[in-house]
Every structure is written in structure tokens, then in C-alpha cells.
């Protein structure tokens, strides 16, 4: 049976009320990336960065998965081949919809990390620079989020899955940020078919063999039904 590797982006969570980054009025229109999503920004003003992620964590925890999240969880359960779900998103809506083994390549809001000893633990609702690491007690805790300039997580595993994919599907991502934006080429080079499901054409649309445009809550369940038929 076919192995399908799926990459999701902020667009899959848009209809759950979580803002995307580059759409009109998106997160990067409200905050400077260099201030809230880089190690330098965190070193310069940890309070500002914690405030930014505390607000996103609260919003993310209050959000509900939408039909697209549920459809991918159903695909994982019912597809007879392998389904590998990689997300750039830091919300936990895939898990809330019942998905398993979600690969969070950019980390996740529900995780906390100690910059001194690399210990990870479940993030409290509100993080601050004075919070001590539960393991080494240093006051060097940060959200377990991959910032610009840092290496995304699980890259080796992701490239391995891409090399074995029969189909690569990108859902709700603008294709602006590497290495995720390069996955379609990796998969195609290994002979995979490629499909983009998005509200509008991404920056890498020309590298996809097929595309369907529309709201994720509509086109993702429809696509899943065709696969499970």
C-alpha cells in the first residue's frame, strides 16, 4: 500500500481561529520576526518573547481542531499504507483531533526547554525568564520552539520518509520557509507524486504535479475520502 508523507502549515489551523504568518494581518504583520522568533531576539528581550508565546499558547489551547485535522487523523487510522504527518505548526490541534506520532519540526507551544541543560518538559500556561529549569534550576527556560537560524527537529527522519514516499502532500503552507519548502523537490526526486492543498498557490506551486485550492476544512476531507475509497 502507498506511503504518504504529509506536511502541514499554518493554513490548516486558520479555520480553528489561529492566525497564519504571511496572510493579510498575519503574525508577521503584527510582530517583527527578529524580535520574537530568533535566539538573538530572545537574548535581547526574553520578556517580550515569553509574552508572545504565552499569548499564542493560550490561544492554541483554546482552539478546537477543524475538519481538516480530523480528516488527517482518520486517514492515519484507516489507510492501509504508512501515513507520516510532519507539521511546521506549533499548535497541538493534530493531536487534539486524534493524530499520532505527529512530527513537530518547528517544536511546539506545549513544550518547554532549558537552554543550559537541554531538559524538556510540558510547558506551563505562562512561561517567564525567572522560571527555573526543573532539572538544573538555571533560569534559562525557553519555549521549545525552533527559531529562525536554528535547525528544525527530526530532519534526518523526515528526509528518510521523503525518500520512501509514494505521495507527498503539502497542506496550508506558503512554501516560503526552508527546509520545509524544499520537501516537495526531495520527494519528487525520489519518484513520489506530489499534491498541494492550499487556499491559494504557494511559492513552490510549480514543483507540485497536482494542486487543489480551497479551504482546508473542505478540500482536505474530500481528498482523504478519495484516498480511503
DSSP for 48-107 reads: HHHHHHHHHHHHHHH----HHHHHHHHHHHH-SS-EEEEE---S-HHHHTT--S-EETTE
DSSP class of 181: G
- Yes or no: say if 177 and 20 are a contact pair by the CB < 8 Å rule: no
From the list 69, 94, 106, 161, the catalytic residue is 106
Q: Which stretch binds ligand APR (CB under 6 A): 54-62, 74-82, 187-195, 198-206?
A: 198-206
- Yes or no: say if 168 and 188 are a contact pair by the CB < 8 Å rule: yes
Q: Which stretch binds ligand APR (CB under 6 A): 70-78, 117-125, 157-165, 166-174?
A: 166-174
Whether 106 is catalytic: yes
Helix (H, G, I), strand (E, B) or coil at 97: coil
Q: 109 to 138, contacts with ligand APR by CB under 6 A? A: none
Minimum CB distance to ligand APR, residue 81 (Å):
24
Minimum CB distance to ligand APR, residue 104 (Å):
10
Q: In what order do the strands lie in the sheet with 83-87?
A: 103-104, 83-87, 4-8, 167-171, 193-198, 210-213
Q: Rounded CA gap, 96 and 5, in Å?
A: 20
Chosen residue from 5, 7, 11, 50 binding ligand APR by CB under 6 A: 11
Chosen residue from 88, 92, 141, 204 binding ligand APR by CB under 6 A: 88
Name the grid cell of 64.
478546537
**Does residue 15 touch ligand APR according to CB under 6 A?**
yes
Chosen residue from 2, 3, 23, 79 binding ligand APR by CB under 6 A: 23
Whole-angstrom Cα Rg for the chain: 18
Chosen residue from 5, 7, 9, 46 binding ligand APR by CB under 6 A: 9
Contacts with ligand APR by CB under 6 A lie at 9-11, 14-15, 20-23, 26, 88, 106, 172-174, 176-177, 198-200, 202, 215-216
Amino acid at each position: 500500500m502507498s506511503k504518504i508523507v504529509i506536511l502541514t502549515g499554518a493554513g490548516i489551523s486558520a479555520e480553528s481561529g489561529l492566525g497564519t504568518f504571511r496572510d493579510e494581518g498575519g503574525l508577521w504583520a503584527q510582530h517583527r520576526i527578529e524580535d520574537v522568533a530568533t535566539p538573538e531576539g530572545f537574548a535581547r528581550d526574553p520578556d517580550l518573547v515569553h509574552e508572545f508565546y504565552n499569548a499564542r499558547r493560550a490561544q492554541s489551547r483554546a482552539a478546537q481542531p477543524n475538519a481538516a485535522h480530523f480528516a488527517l487523523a482518520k486517514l492515519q487510522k484507516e489507510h492501509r499504507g504508512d501515513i507520516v504527518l510532519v507539521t511546521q505548526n506549533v499548535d497541538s490541534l493534530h493531536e487534539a483531533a486524534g493524530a499520532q506520532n505527529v512530527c513537530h519540526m518547528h517544536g511546539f507551544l506545549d513544550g518547554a526547554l532549558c537552554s543550559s541543560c537541554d531538559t524538556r518538559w510540558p510547558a506551563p500556561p505562562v512561561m517567564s525568564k525567572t522560571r527555573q529549569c526543573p532539572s538544573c534550576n538555571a533560569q534559562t527556560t525557553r519555549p521549545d520552539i525552533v527559531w529562525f537560524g536554528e535547525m528544525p527537529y527530526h530532519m534526518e527522519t523526515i528526509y528518510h520518509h521523503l525518500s520512501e514516499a509514494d505521495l507527498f502532500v503539502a497542506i496550508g503552507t506558503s512554501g516560503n520557509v526552508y527546509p520545509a519548502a524544499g520537501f516537495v523537490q526531495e520527494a519528487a526526486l525520489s519518484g513520489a507524486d506530489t499534491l498541494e492543498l492550499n487556499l491559494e498557490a504557494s511559492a513552490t506551486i510549480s514543483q507540485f504535479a497536482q494542486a487543489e485550492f480551497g479551504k482546508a476544512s473542505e478540500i482536505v476531507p474530500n481528498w482523504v475520502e478519495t484516498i480511503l475509497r
